[in-house]
Structure 1
Amino acid sequence: MTVRVEIWTDINCPFCYLGKQRFEQALADFPHRAEVEVVHRSFELDPTLPADESGPVIAKIARKYGISEAQAAANERGIGAQAAAIGLPYLTEGRDYGNSFDMHRLLHFALAEGKQDELLDALYRANFAEEQSLFADHERLVRIAVAAGFDESAVRAVLADPHAYADAVRADEREAAQLGATGVPFFVFDRKYGVSGAQPSEMFTQVLDKAWADREPVIATIGGAEVCGPDGCALPARD
């Protein structure tokens, strides 16, 4: 039996970017790594954003939290320091934000292709570590997906059809609400344990260990009589 980890995220979310790295650092040291299945789920931080617009992140943060742009910029520098501490590049100024629905549709397409993690990493890099705008630009999404190993015509077909994988995105979002997720990142281990936020790697290690221990009943063996196994049967003792 495997351990299944589902992670609800949004490309706009810097803590999703950090949380993925911290989780993967824990997973890399997990002795049963090969038996852990990871699936990324969709969560839009602001689904009301127009699909054809984008804007500067600093101004958006300032408006959302009722703080000055100087304070918002300081917050971004703080996140950048956290990213640097775990080996992630992070632009603390000049980034934009926008509607991420098409990216989530592409991530479901990538899941069907068996390469979801590769596309998610590429989108995170494009958003948090590269200066060129990511949102409201299908051509850039195509270039990013192709560079991540996807067929260009297939990617264009998904982006051209607004219904492609849309139901899968909405289903993820409904499920997140049913599970009580009000923000991201939100990690769910075997539908038993939930972890909210970009927790330290040590926390993810603890939950992985617990989920692994709980994946099947532990049976206490009593007695030591003779048994037969793959290598044959125990020989009875001779007088």
Structure 2
Amino acid sequence: MRIEVFSDMVCPWCYIGKRRLSIALDQVGVKPELVWRAFQLDPSYPSDVTWTLSEAHANRYGIHGEEDKRRQKLVTDLAAQVGIGYRLDRAIMANTADAHRLVKHGHAHGKGTETAEALMRAFAVEGRNIGDGGTLNEIAAEQGLPPLEPGAYTDEVNADLALASRYGVVGVPTLIIDEKYMLVSPEIQDLSRFLQQHAG
């Protein structure tokens, strides 16, 4: 089984989806090939600002006050159900183009999944700026990776973005299983059953 995971590290739903997928795979006892695919929710997000998630919601997306709090509480509560302690109050929004390059860097060294999770955790739990080159190299070092070279893996990231368009991916997290089935999480209610039915 091959599972392509389209995600964006500044999407709080993606970390939840990643954890739900891990739980389902453990329950079913399946060890698929996992391929982390790049998808940017906001590819034009400015790289020259350092806004908290709430500031970005207000300044860029028009989500204010109680509605912002409601959304953050909803996703924080769901994260807690799968054992993740979100701290979105200190999350720093970022353009994720370089973070996606780091995931490809991790994959090239056999650590794609670990690198993707480290970036999600850095954003949603640790309050680190994953759009900052210095932060990305810190995360690379923590994963035992050499520094990310400027411009490295740009072609691979762009290929993922084109692939997302061909598949019809419009939001994340989205799973593509064996190039046949598209599952959009977190709406999946019984992922383990689906995996069991289609394993092998």
For the aligned pair, the TM-score class normalised by the smaller chain equals over 0.9
Aligned mate of 1:24, from 13, 22, 25: 22
- Look up the match of 1:48: 44
Distance 1:37 1:21 in 2: 16
Q: Which structure carries more relative contact order (alpha carbon 8 Å, separation 6+)?
A: 2
TM-score by length of 2: 0.92
Q: Distance in 1 between matches of 2:88 and 2:108?
A: 33
Take 2:47 and 2:15, find their aligned partners in 1: how far apart are those partners? Answer: 22
Q: Find the counterpart in structure 1 of residue 126 from structure 2.
A: 130
Alignment check: 8 A CA contact 2:98 2:131 kept: no
SS in 2 for 1:41: strand
Question: What residue in structure 1 maps to residue 64 of structure 2?
Answer: 68
Aligned with residue 193 of structure 2, among 206, 224, 228: 206
| Aligned counterparts of 1:135 and 1:146: Cα–Cα separation in 2 | 14
Q: Is residue 94 of structure 1 aligned with residue 96 of structure 2? A: no
Q: Tell me, which stretches of 5 or more residues in structure 2 are unaligned? A: none
Give TM-score, length-normalised by structure 1: 0.78
Letter in 2 for 1:210: Q
**1:88 aligned counterpart, secondary structure:** coil
What is the Cα deviation at residue 50 of structure 1?
2.7
Distance in 1, matches of 2:109 and 2:192, equals 29
Report if the CA contact (8 A) 1:186-1:196 is conserved.
yes
- Between Structure 1 and Structure 2, how many residues are aligned? 200
**TM-align CA RMSD:** 1.7
Larger radius of gyration: 1
- Mark the runs of 5 or more structure 1 residues left unpaired by the alignment: 216-239
CA contact (8 A) 1:52 1:136 kept: no
Write the letter of the residue equivalent to 2:141.
V
What are the residue-to-residue correspondences of 1:111-190 with 2, within 5 Å?
A: 111-131=107-127, 133-151=128-146, 155-156=147-148, 158=149, 161-162=150-151, 164-190=152-178
